[in-house]
Structure 1
Amino acid sequence: MLIRTPLLAFLLFVAPLIFAQPSSSSRWSEDQANAWYARQAWLVGANYVPSDAINQLEMFQAATFDPAINDRELGLAESIGMNTMRVFLQDQLWQQDPQGFVKRLDAFLAIASRHHIKPILVLFDSCWESNPHLGPQHPPIPGVHNSGWVQSPGARELSDTSYEPHLKEYVVGIVSAFANDDRVLAWDIWNEPDNTNGSRFDEPANKVELVAAMLPRAFEWARSAHPSQPLTSGVWTGNWSDPAQESAVTKIQLAESDVISFHNYGWPEEFEARVRSLQSLHRPIICTEYMARGSGSTFDTILPLAKQLNVAAINWGLVAGKTQTWLPWDSWQHPYVLSQPTIWFHEVFRHDDTPYRQREVDLMRQLTGRGIPPTGSTN
């Protein structure tokens, strides 16, 4: 239900805090985490940005939030058997208009629920542009992969200790608003926290240290809202099989996460090795980013393997649009302006809603046992 009165706004923000279960204020036990996972169908989905949005801000700002596109594109996801989406939020949206942001997020969750999709909501992100700003966003840079994505918090906010209470307010406020909402699958506290983006942006020299200090507090803030959903932050780089070789941030991610998540864009042999390195933690495993066709990570090879290993699989991208993530990573150095890549990097559907490759969507329907195959489709 959307917020329409001050009373409903009050209930949305305050009731979860009043009636929260105290057992959610600490990390879930292995038994709790595995029991939660056992209640889920096999989780398959995508990292979702509407095709008309270049980033998180454009997805949720009042002037550009588009329920009709969300509805159409999540319908495409449902039609091929997807039942989750990973959706990125942005702290400046809360600072600008917390009630309006919650209202739009509530509307998005209602649309997703109609399509039997439960999103994972991402609170912070260390990737890409380090100085985000509200308002109109620049158009896509021709030929460049993900040319308008923004971090949360930005470099200035991350470096300013006086801004931390605002970040805490954002985390507690958003998680509280949906803490007992079964339309939300999980909370991803921080995407690739120690990613320094190859020094392409103006970022603090001590960014990794700043993030390592804030990450445990971000988990603590989220837990203070007593969410009924699990918390996670996906490991993405380095060695995860030997605690002695784990980075400081990886140690925090693995120690704080209720369910374990990870990223892998490599060949299936590498994907399996990464999963095996995490199985000793005895918790559910969710791959929250994979599928880069040109790098050896494809639906054909990874999806059957993920199902065999009982790993949730969430690829990057759904419908080709303003993020331009069908273009490969090397477009940062060599934009694809005069020619297009032979093979799409990410995305499942073209902008006209037709599949990039029919066999991929048929495979998803086959493996999930869900979805609605088109007339005449063969698996």
Structure 2
Amino acid sequence: MRSEDVHGFNYDGSWGTSGLDLWQHHDHGRMAVEVARGKRYFPGWNVARWWLSHEAHQRDPQRFLANLEAGLGVFAQHDVLVIPVLFNRWRDPVCDFGGVPLDHLLPHHSAWTGADDLFARPDAGDPVAAPVQGIFHRYLADVVGAHVDDPRIYAWDLCNEPLMGRYVDDEESPVRRAELSWLTWCHRVCKDLGARAPLTVGNYPNLTALALTEPISDILSFHPYYMWNGSGNQPHTKTKDGFERFLDDCVALAGRAGKELVANETVWGARDDAKHVEVMRYTLGELRRRGIGHVVHALHHSLAADLHQDAWGPVGTPEWLHFVEADGSLRAGHEAFDEFAPPRVP
């Protein structure tokens, strides 16, 4: 499938507030219902970006892997390919999803483990020599290694929104250096395991982050949000002119690299249904004009951050991003997604 033909949704189950919560209490029956709802409302839906949890795998590997396999089967029943999100670096102060903390990536001495580094350099010999590195390696081997030629996988997203800080622009930053070293190592491990599906990195809307992760991305992924309510720390996302220039810059970067570009998270939220539809039409229209495929965030109501109404828990500045409500109904006007995702003709 060409990247411009990607028309999809991110997916987190409705039953959990975080990645660990979702996967420790995975509800396969509810997932099957929610995915079926999505396909019924949006028959042109063909790719799902499904958020995993390395923390849940660490606690109960066999249960996690069984749920992963069952979920891939659910998507396949509806002809939806999957982008599994392997790690997460986006941390939210309002309703945190969980993920990899920086102190698991920064080299330092650990008196508790007796190791010099909790995470070794990507070229430092034995890939499981350091404690955190060993945990990550087992996870990648179990998840990616078991699905290296799985036709249900569209791409592997190594990490959601790394490098999210001012340090992204500081070439001397030890934080930037450590995070890029870790991502490079993850990329190498997946390639060594034999992964055939493209590897990518889901970048927040920052051109520098996209450029830094280009060398370890078979296809480029980014999160073009037009933040109509002026939130976020990326000034170019707050106006239409700035947003459109940003899109053009990303297209140019992908062109220079000779790689495809996909928006694997997009469409800013709104409490008001009509406003959300307006933002969706504008955002997806601009992406379509540039031949950029889209994976909207997100399909279904969830207790995870920004995917629920205020009555269900904390809501941050993105407001409500979900398309399907908790009772299974479609938010008013949201069938407009189908204008940008025509069903595939057999």
- Range with bigger deviation, 89-98 or 228-237: 89-98
Q: Is the 8 A contact 2:307 2:320 kept in 1?
A: yes
- The alpha-carbon deviation at position 223 of structure 1 amounts to 0.7
Q: Is the 8 A contact 1:102 1:177 kept in 2?
A: no
Q: Is the 8 A contact 1:45 1:82 kept in 2?
A: yes
2:49 aligns to what SS in structure 1?
strand
1:121 aligns to what SS in structure 2?
strand
Which residue matches 1:273? Answer: 248
- The alpha-carbon deviation at position 218 of structure 1 amounts to 0.8
Asked if 1:260 corresponds to 2:220, the answer is yes
Asked if 1:369 corresponds to 2:342, the answer is yes
1:232 aligns to what SS in structure 2?
strand
Task: Report how many aligned residue pairs link the two structures.
Answer: 294
2:8 aligns to what SS in structure 1?
strand
Q: Is the 8 A contact 1:120 1:188 kept in 2?
A: yes
Amino acid at match of 1:352: D
Shift in CA distance, 364/157, structure 1 to aligned 2, threshold 3 Å? same
Shift in CA distance, 181/298, structure 1 to aligned 2, threshold 3 Å? same
Deviations 1:318-350 (A, max 9, x none): 22231251579xxxxxx9999999x95311111
How far apart, CA to CA, are the structure 2 residues paired with 1:299 and 1:59?
27
**1:166-181 superposed matches below 5 A:** 166-181=135-150
- The alpha-carbon deviation at position 177 of structure 1 amounts to 0.8
Shift in CA distance, 367/213, structure 1 to aligned 2, threshold 3 Å? closer
Amino acid at match of 1:84: V
TM-score by length of 1: 0.69
**1:73-88 superposed matches below 5 A:** 73-79=34-40, 80=42, 81-88=44-51
1:124 aligns to what SS in structure 2?
strand
Q: Is the 8 A contact 1:127 1:196 kept in 2?
A: no
**1:1-379 superposed matches below 5 A:** 37-38=1-2, 42-61=5-24, 64-79=25-40, 80=42, 81-128=44-91, 147-151=95-99, 153-159=100-106, 160-161=118-119, 162=130, 163-196=132-165, 207-238=175-206, 240=207, 246=208, 250-266=210-226, 269=241, 270-271=243-244, 272-280=247-255, 281-294=257-270, 298-326=279-307, 345-358=320-333, 360-361=334-335, 363-370=336-343
How far apart, CA to CA, are the structure 1 residues paired with 2:292 and 2:5?
8
2:304 aligns to what SS in structure 1?
coil
Q: CA RMSD in A?
A: 3.3
- The alpha-carbon deviation at position 88 of structure 1 amounts to 1.7
How far apart, CA to CA, are the structure 2 residues paired with 1:252 and 1:170?
24
Which residue matches 2:235? Answer: none
2:203 aligns to what SS in structure 1?
coil
Which residue matches 1:26? Answer: none
Shift in CA distance, 338/49, structure 1 to aligned 2, threshold 3 Å? closer
Q: Is the 8 A contact 1:60 1:105 kept in 2?
A: no
Deviations 1:166-208 (A, max 9, x none): 212211321111111111111001111112599xxxxxx9543
Shift in CA distance, 177/336, structure 1 to aligned 2, threshold 3 Å? same
Using the aligned pairs only, state the percent identity. Answer: 18
How far apart, CA to CA, are the structure 1 residues paired with 2:166 and 2:328?
31
Shift in CA distance, 306/65, structure 1 to aligned 2, threshold 3 Å? same
Deviations 1:94-117 (A, max 9, x none): 222323221110000001111211
2:85 aligns to what SS in structure 1?
strand
1:323 aligns to what SS in structure 2?
coil
- The alpha-carbon deviation at position 154 of structure 1 amounts to 3.4
